[in-house]
Structure 1
């Protein structure tokens, strides 16, 4: 089992769950969870250990999020991106996409490291820079996944036409 498959298994990502996660409401509300999580951690300044209740609430929301919305087909930009992400998790990524996706994943991890630094040190600038980096990397990844999915559909229709 690869790391990607393990992460999908931890989140209980079935085909139905991927279709629900493809709903634009799921995608955009997950983006909104980034500052919510940061605020929950930052609130330790005011709430002490009670901030963990807010952190747990965000984590539970992230788990529920991919299950709450109606399943959708690949009709929107975000939905095509999520369907492409599923292809990535399933190991169906053509070589020409792998390097870009790896760089975008690395950029997202660097942004996450900056977020962690900002939250640990209670320093706004690495937190802000990290958040911007994570969001931009994720948006670019969704776009790349959408291209991957469209390429996959073209290849499937070409294989079926021959």
Structure 2
């Protein structure tokens, strides 16, 4: 898969989430990042787990979980200080999604794609486990997905640090209270 093909996937995600500049600025709030880290995957897996016991009513819980993932980046104020790990995760994600316009170093692209696959495979295993109410695949897949995503997030911070001086827009996202 080349960078143009992976970029299309990023554009689809951004459009689905309706992430404009204002939303990204609010998502850079560490409260937004950390509440998604702690709640996003467990809420989704619990909602999917409820499909068998709740039948059609479970779609309300799945819809609520999806709504939470969509609304979360919009709930928090724009942070005064973005010189922190959580904010830089969101900056790195923006750099990653913009890689067709402003190319990124190949080693960052390779790691990001690899970790996306790891997190995605773990997520699929967890979803299948949750659909069939099987605890071991749900937990193990969820852990693989979560750790894969966290490692991806850490790589996004590294990507941002390497790219912040390449584009003045990237540098402008960094704000330090008192400066």
Shared fold by TM > 0.5? yes
Moved over 3 A (4+): 154-157
2:62 maps to 55
Query: Using the alignment, how far apart are the partners of 2:70 and 2:25 within structure 1?
Result: 15
Query: Could you give the per-residue CA deviations for residues 109-129 of structure 1, whole angstroms, max 9, x where no partner exists?
Result: 111111122023221111111
1:67 maps to 74
How does 1:27-42 map onto structure 2 within 5 Å?
A: 27-31=33-37, 32-42=39-49
Q: What are the ranges of 5 or more consecutive residues in structure 2 without an aligned counterpart?
A: 1-6, 169-179
Shifted more, 127-136 versus 114-123: the winner is 114-123
2:94 maps to 86
Contact 1:74 1:83 in 2 (8 A): no
Number of positions where the alignment pairs a residue of Structure 1 with one of Structure 2: 157
Q: Does 1:18 align with 2:24?
A: yes
1:118 maps to 129
Contact 2:29 2:82 in 1 (8 A): no
Post-superposition offset of 1:156: 4.9
Post-superposition offset of 1:155: 4.0
Higher helix fraction: Structure 1 or Structure 2? Answer: 1
Q: 1:76 aligns with which of 77, 84, 96?
A: 84
Query: Using the alignment, how far apart are the partners of 1:11 and 1:19 within structure 2?
Result: 14
Query: Using the alignment, how far apart are the partners of 1:122 and 1:46 within structure 2?
Result: 9
1:8 maps to 14
With normalisation by structure 1, the TM-score equals: 0.89
Post-superposition offset of 1:96: 2.1
Q: What are the ranges of 5 or more consecutive residues in structure 1 without an aligned counterpart?
A: 158-162
Query: Using the alignment, how far apart are the partners of 1:6 and 1:42 within structure 2?
Result: 27
Contact 2:122 2:143 in 1 (8 A): yes
